[in-house]
Structure 1
Amino acid sequence: MIGKLDEALHFQQSALRLRAERQQLLASNIANADTPNYKARDIDFSAALKQAVSTAGAPADGGLTTTAPAHIPGKAAGMTASGVPVLYRNAAQGSVDGNTVDMDVERSQFADNALRYEAGVTFAAGQLKKLLAAVQGQ
């Protein structure tokens, strides 16, 4: 029974986890808008979601292995916590200090991602309500 519930919500779980990681990257870009030589970062969401859904149950540590049980698993450089490669956004307009953050792009991407995250939460809540109604026999 638990396996069926997990299967039913796996897509939404993966999408929400990736949206949260992307939101952190976008917030980092906004926070570093005035940092010299900072390069704006993002992920390819659709490719990451395809990878997350196709590799269900695979370890998401970015390929790192621990050599002792006391070691804390980490993430590879240039990867998010779930093992998605972090990409650098090309600058639409160059700046003197080498910073590639375009605040208009970052704000619009941040707002778009936040709306899509909320839509995902709403959709997952609807799925849970349907599953609960099915379990209760309503």
Structure 2
Amino acid sequence: MTSIRDHLALHATALQLRETRNGVLMSNLANAATPGFQARDFDFQTTLAARVGAGGALAISDARHIATGGATPGQLGYRVPVTPALDGNTVEAGVEQMEFAENTLRYQTSLMFLNRRISGLMRAMRGE
């Protein structure tokens, strides 16, 4: 038997991760003029999959096995700039604004899916 938590977990986790990513992207934009600042981000899909238990890295059962995958899910990495600034700042405002806009749109979409899921559960509880 599945619980209500099971029905809401994916979208609730996605909302949390989108909010965290928006904070990282806003920090990048806020530091666009800070000399030496390195733009940060994380791989949303890998982190979401790890949080909800869908996939992830292969298990290593022997010391001779080679680990797969890149960074730990949710770990902040550094964005590789197309044209870094002379002062060492790697924030590219256009890239950050585009990523922020896309992430915000996806946040709103996840919120819509979560609201629909909750509405469906409420209708089911009322017997509609």
Q: TM-score range by the shorter chain?
A: 0.7 to 0.9
Q: Where does structure 2 lack aligned partners over 5 or more consecutive residues?
A: 55-71
For 1:28-56, what per-residue CA distance to the aligned partner results, in whole angstroms no more than 9, with x for missing partners?
0000000000000001001001111118x
Return the structure number with greater relative CO, CA threshold 8 A, min gap 6: 2
SS at the partner of 1:92?
Answer: coil
Partner residue in 2 for 1:54: 53
Partner residue in 2 for 1:16: 15
Distance 2:26 2:103 in 1: 11
Q: Where does structure 1 lack aligned partners over 5 or more consecutive residues?
A: 56-78
- Report the CA distance between 1:19 and its aligned residue: 0.4
**TM-score, normalised via structure 2 length:** 0.83
- The runs of at least 4 aligned residues of structure 1 exceeding 6 Å deviation read none
Partner residue in 1 for 2:61: none
Could you say what the CA RMSD is over the residues aligned between the two structures, in angstroms? 1.6
Overall identity of the aligned pairs, in %: 37
Partner residue in 2 for 1:29: 28
The count of residues paired between Structure 1 and Structure 2 equals 111
Distance 1:123 1:49 in 2: 16
Could you tell me whether the CA contact under 8 Å between 2:39 and 2:78 is conserved in 1?
yes
Find out whether 1:109 has 2:99 as its counterpart: yes
- Report the CA distance between 1:94 and its aligned residue: 1.9
- Report the CA distance between 1:91 and its aligned residue: 1.1
Amino acid at match of 1:33: A
Distance 1:94 1:108 in 2: 17
